[in-house]
Amino acid sequence: MCGIVGLMSLDGSAPPADLIDRMAEAIAHRGPDGRGDYRQGDLAMAQMRLAIIDLKTGDQPLYEPGGAALVANGEIYNYVELREDMPDTAFATASDCEPPLHLFRREGMAFLDRLRGMYTIALHDPVDGRLLLARDPFGIKPLYLTRTERFFAFASEPRAFFAAGLLAPKIAPVPLGEMLQLQFTTGEETPFAGVSRLRPGEALIVSQGRVVE
């Protein structure tokens, strides 16, 4: 179990370091083996790592030659097959999460159709400033979202938003009723007001703090 968080400013400024730190610290229990940070323009991301594959060189963020960076939670099961499909690619690590980076540069968002596994991915391309967020088709790994007057944020757990003071924890009655009846919630709603989640198999493109695709 790993954890990822991210904060994108709506006005193009660099997100405050203390906010991303508080978000990361709130989910530190998900990744006892280290923390990796990414800061580029209006975006800051962090990953708390539980090392399973590539213990030595698999620290995140991961980068590809074009500058794109990735943080992820989960595991890509068919990463060996994906590596073999790109024999001309110089991989920098043995991480299961590096092949998606190179596939993104080759195929765009279509690369998601080739992934087999349980994952949430945050991939930033500094060339156009866009952030891709994606969740595995079965929704095994969670990714929560919120938007305030100043920021768009994502995290593996809602507590990261509360810890950073982005919003106060407030129960949303409709999803709570669904949870009490079904023992889980469906769709993008959550038990917390102002917090949504990426649906299973969903992918979003975020630019300047706004969902554009």
Residues that are catalytic: 2
Distance separating alpha carbons of residues 39 and 36, to the nearest angstrom:
10
Q: Indicate the residue type of 213.
A: E
Distance separating alpha carbons of residues 136 and 140, to the nearest angstrom:
7
Instruction: Annotate the chain with three-state secondary structure.
Output: CCEEEEEEECCCCCCCHHHHHHHHHHCHHHCCCCEEEEEECCEEEEEECCCCCCCCCCCCCEECCCCCEEEEEEEECCHHHHHHCCCCCCCCCCCCCHHHHHHHHHHHHHHHHHCCEEEEEEEEECCCCEEEEEECCCCCCCCEEEECCCEEEEECCCHHHHHCCCCCCCECHHHHHHHHHHCCCCCCECCECCCEECCCCCEEEEECCEECC
